[in-house]
Amino acid sequence: MDKVYQDIEDLRAQLLDLLAKLVAFQTESPPARNSMAAQQFIQLYLENLGFETDLWDVYPNDPNLVGTLSGIDSDRHQGLTLV
């Protein structure tokens, strides 16, 4: 856990910047059905990290996003899927 805490501390400025960008999206509910811009931002962010993404509409302007990052050594590492 110490390594995780250190990694978080090392990335503090980046994480706070990402958080600020995410909370700036107007996604309050009600009225809901307003998350498309936020989902597209997250999709691009994940793709820039090497994730494969899939975005599909559940409701108009309110999609689901899945990001998958495949492991590079299947004997030692598994893939990661974010839903």
Q: For the full predicted model, state whether its pTM sits above 0.85.
A: no
Query: Are the C-beta atoms of residues 53 and 47 closer than 8 Å to each other?
Result: yes
Q: How many domains does the chain have?
A: 1
pLDDT digits (tens, 9 = 90+) for 14-41: 999 999 999 999 998 888 899 999 999 9
**CB-hemisphere CA count at 13 Å for 73?**
3
Which residue range is the domain that position 53 belongs to? 2-82
- Which pair of structure tokens corresponds to residue 45? 């962010």
pLDDT digits (tens, 9 = 90+) for 52-64: 999 999 888 899 9
